[in-house]
Every structure is written in structure tokens, then in C-alpha cells.
């Protein structure tokens, strides 16, 4: 097992530990009041069950929440094949369209939504999803409706799980100390950065970028999903902050800018590169938000200076100094990946299918 990072540079005794060991927590940060906290732990996609999943009963009132001209869906338009994911608010099913035989992801709220504020939050998730339209690195929202009080969102299916699952798998390798190879980390960053640039160009902040919300399509492309927390740029209203583990420090003071997404992506990158079990609170939580960011120093876990420097720029405590998404796309590594992708797109796709 890799030794713990040298903590002598820091004033406190809290420490980051490798994934399989629990983090020591010292003291709480200011509690975050949000209707979506506390978060429940993620349940990884389950293995397909043979018994068909129950579809909702007929004759319930249906409200369509999207106004697309093409066919509107309802629950009975799908055969539900298996549950593929669960978050704090919804379950996600793999389903086959009865009319077109195509596979989709159907996200269904866990319980009926009667409260206006909660309903509005779901409506916003849907509206932002529709506003984002098609982009190769966004899990596309296709249609949404309300049935029996539950909210349903029909989405593009990302069949190969989320980035958290991929990280957990990597950790299990090499006797529990495995991690993603760095060139794969750059490819994942490239994908998410393309998607995030599109999100920010549309004037939307995601505000919940984290490995569970980054989803793999069948050909291994990483896509941003779960727009359940996001808000529009310049929106004055108070709101949700997303997952505390990946949360930017300024969100504690309700300062919301696209830079918050850069911090969350930066700390996600840090998790991918180090394999540390990131804290939810405590002194180390604060250190990571004050630029005191330890990296493993042993030879096995070596991280390139390019990647370290980028992580530091993305996790800058000052949102105004943090690298922007446009700046990120201009860094040499991502530029060269972009050229590589253009020139060898078939080979590149094939290579990614293997991971």
C-alpha cells in the first residue's frame, strides 16, 4: 500500500488516505442547508434481473413537461429492463422503447413530488437539459413527463456506468492500490471539458460535477449527466450546492459562478490522479480549499508536473484566479488530444472501447 502523503507542510494532523481506508475527520465545516442534503451513498448499477420491472398503472394523469414537436412518451411506451443507477432523488432504469426498439435511460423520482419548490427544481433540471440539446459529451435529455406525481425523464442511455464505478474498479486492481493510467485521465478530462464548455456557453452552471455524475456511453465517451442542481449564470436566487466532497469553497458563501464547476472538476481530477478518499468535512476538507494540496511522492504513484499544476490551477481557492473552461481547453495536453482525435478518430474510438 502506498504511504500516506507527508503532512509536515500542513498545520493540522488530518490526512488523506488511500481509497480503501476511511478518512479521519476532525471538525465539521459550517453545515450546508439545502433541501437536497444530506446525500445518501450511491448504489452502483445492479446486475440485470430476470423479472420484468413493474410499469406504472394506467389511467394516471399525465402532464408533459417538454414541448417537443416529436412524439411524447409516457411510462407505458417502454419495457423496463433493469435498474442501472440510483441517486438521492431518483432511480434510473434501462428501458426499451416499444415503438422504436431503442434503448433509453428513464430517470424516475423516487417518490411523488408534491412540494412546489422541489417540483420546480426538477423542472429546472429538465429545462436545462432541453436547453443544452445535443452534445457528444452531455447525457442528452429527450423528453419528460409527470405521472402519478412522479417525474420521469427520458434520456440518452450511457450504458457503461459512471466514473465512480470506473475508479472503484481501478482501485481494486493491483491488490487494492490500482489507479487509472495518466493518459486515460487526460482523455477523460478532455471529454468532460468539452461538455462543460458547452454547458458554460449556454449560460448554465452544473454545480454538481463529481464522478457519479460523469457517465460512459457505449463507445467509452465520458458525458456529463444529472443537471438536477444546476442554475443559470447570473441567477441571484439561493439554491443547492451539490455534493460537499466536490464542492467549491465559495459556495459556502453562496457565490455561484462557472468557476465552481472548474473546482469540482479539479478535485475530481485530483481523486482520479491520487486515489485518495476525499473528505466530506474537517481540516483536510478545508486544506484542499486553501491550496494546501498534497500529492503522493512515492515512485509508483508519480503524477506528472503538467497534471499537478493543472489540478492546482483548477483548485485555486480564489474563483477569480481559477483557470476558466476556455483556458483549460487551450492547455497543450488537451490541444494535442484534440489534434490526435481529429486525425485518428477511428483508431482513437477503438482504443477507448478497450477501457
Ligand X SMILES: Nc1ncnc2c1ncn2[C@@H]1O[C@H](COP(=O)(O)OP(=O)(O)OP(=O)(O)O)[C@@H](O)[C@H]1O
Angle at CA 112, nearest 5°, toward 60 and 62?
A: 30
- In whole angstroms, give the CA distance from residue 71 to residue 129: 18
Q: Does 226 bind Mg ion (CB under 5 A)?
A: yes
Q: Does 194 bind Mg ion (CB under 5 A)?
A: no
- In whole angstroms, give the CA distance from residue 311 to residue 323: 10
Q: In what order do the strands lie in the sheet with 150-156?
A: 62-64, 141-147, 150-156, 103-109, 90-97, 78-86
Q: Please indicate whether residue 208 is annotated as part of the active site.
A: yes
- What residues make contact with ligand X under the rule CB under 6 A? 39, 42, 45, 84-90, 92, 105, 107, 139, 155-158, 162, 212-213, 215, 225-226, 228
Extended beta strands in the chain, E state: 17-18, 62-64, 78-86, 90-97, 103-109, 141-147, 150-156, 204-205, 214-216, 222-224, 231-232, 276-277
* Partner interacting with residue 151 (select from Mg ion, ligand X, none; CB below 5-8 Å by kind): none
Q: If we measure between CA atoms, which residue out of 336, 306, 287, 297 comes closest to residue 26? A: 287
For Mg ion, the binding residues in 66-95 under the rule CB under 5 A are 87
Sole binder of Mg ion in the list 213, 217, 275, 283 (CB under 5 A): 213
Print the binding letters for residues 154-193 with Mg ion: x by CB under 5 A, - otherwise: ----------------------------------------
- In whole angstroms, give the CA distance from residue 117 to residue 35: 9
The annotation status of 108 as a binding-site residue, yes or no, is yes
* Partner interacting with residue 92 (select from Mg ion, ligand X, none; CB below 5-8 Å by kind): ligand X
Catalytic residue, chosen from 77, 165, 191, 208, is: 208
Give the H or E element holding residue 121: helix 116-132
Nearer to ligand X, 32 or 329 (CB): 32
In the complex, the smallest distance separating the C-beta of residue 223 from ligand X, rounded to whole angstroms, is 8
The contact set with Mg ion (CB under 5 A) reads: 87, 213, 226
Annotated binding site for ATP: 108
Annotated binding site: 108
Residue positions annotated with a catalytic role: 208
Amino acid at each position: 500500500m502506498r504511504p500516506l502523503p507527508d503532512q509536515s507542510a500542513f498545520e493540522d494532523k488530518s490526512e488523506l488516505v488511500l481509497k480503501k481506508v476511511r478518512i479521519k475527520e476532525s471538525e465539521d465545516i459550517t453545515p450546508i442547508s439545502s433541501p437536497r442534503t444530506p446525500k445518501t451513498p450511491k448504489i452502483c448499477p445492479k446486475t440485470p434481473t430476470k423479472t420484468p420491472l413493474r410499469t406504472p398503472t394506467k389511467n394516471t394523469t399525465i402532464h408533459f413537461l417538454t414541448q417537443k414537436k416529436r412524439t411524447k412518451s409516457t411510462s407505458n411506451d417502454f419495457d423496463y429492463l433493469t435498474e442501472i443507477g440510483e441517486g438521492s432523488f431518483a432511480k434510473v432504469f434501462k428501458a426499451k422503447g416499444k415503438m422504436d426498439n431503442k434503448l433509453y435511460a428513464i430517470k424516475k423520482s423516487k417518490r411523488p413530488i408534491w412540494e412546489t419548490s422541489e417540483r420546480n427544481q426538477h423542472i429546472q433540471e429538465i429545462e436545462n437539459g432541453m436547453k443544452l440539446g445535443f452534445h457528444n459529451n452531455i447525457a442528452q435529455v429527450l423528453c419528460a413527463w409527470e405521472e402519478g406525481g412522479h417525474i420521469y425523464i427520458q434520456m440518452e442511455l450511457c450504458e457503461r456506468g459512471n466514473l465512480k464505478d470506473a475508479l472503484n474498479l481501478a482501485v481494486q486492481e493491483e491488490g487494492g492500490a490500482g489507479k487509472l493510467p495518466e493518459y486515460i485521465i487526460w482523455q477523460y478530462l478532455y471529454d468532460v471539458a468539452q461538455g462543460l464548455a458547452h454547458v458554460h456557453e449556454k449560460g448554465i452552471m452544473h454545480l454538481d460535477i463529481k464522478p457519479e455524475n460523469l457517465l460512459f456511453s457505449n463507445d467509452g465517451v465520458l458525458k456529463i449527466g444529472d443537471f438536477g442542481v444546476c442554475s443559470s449564470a447570473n441567477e441571484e436566487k439561493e439554491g443547492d450546492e451539490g455534493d460537499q466532497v466536490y464542492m467549491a469553497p465559495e459556495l459556502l458563501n453562496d457565490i455561484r459562478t462557472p468557476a465552481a464547476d472548474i473546482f469540482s472538476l479539479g478535485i475530481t481530477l485530483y481523486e482520479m490522479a491520487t486515489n485518495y478518499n476525499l473528505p466530506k468535512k474537517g481540516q483536510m476538507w478545508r486544506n484542499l480549499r486553501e491550496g494546501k494540496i498534497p500529492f503522493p511522492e512515492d515512485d509508483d504513484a508519480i503524477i506528472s508536473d503538467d497534471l499537478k499544476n493543472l489540478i492546482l490551477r483548477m483548485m485555486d481557492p480564489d474563483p477569480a484566479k481559477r483557470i476558466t473552461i476556455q483556458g483549460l481547453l487551450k492547455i497543450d495536453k488537451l490541444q494535442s488530444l484534440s489534434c490526435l482525435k481529429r486525425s485518428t478518430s477511428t483508431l482513437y474510438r477503438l482504443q477507448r472501447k478497450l477501457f
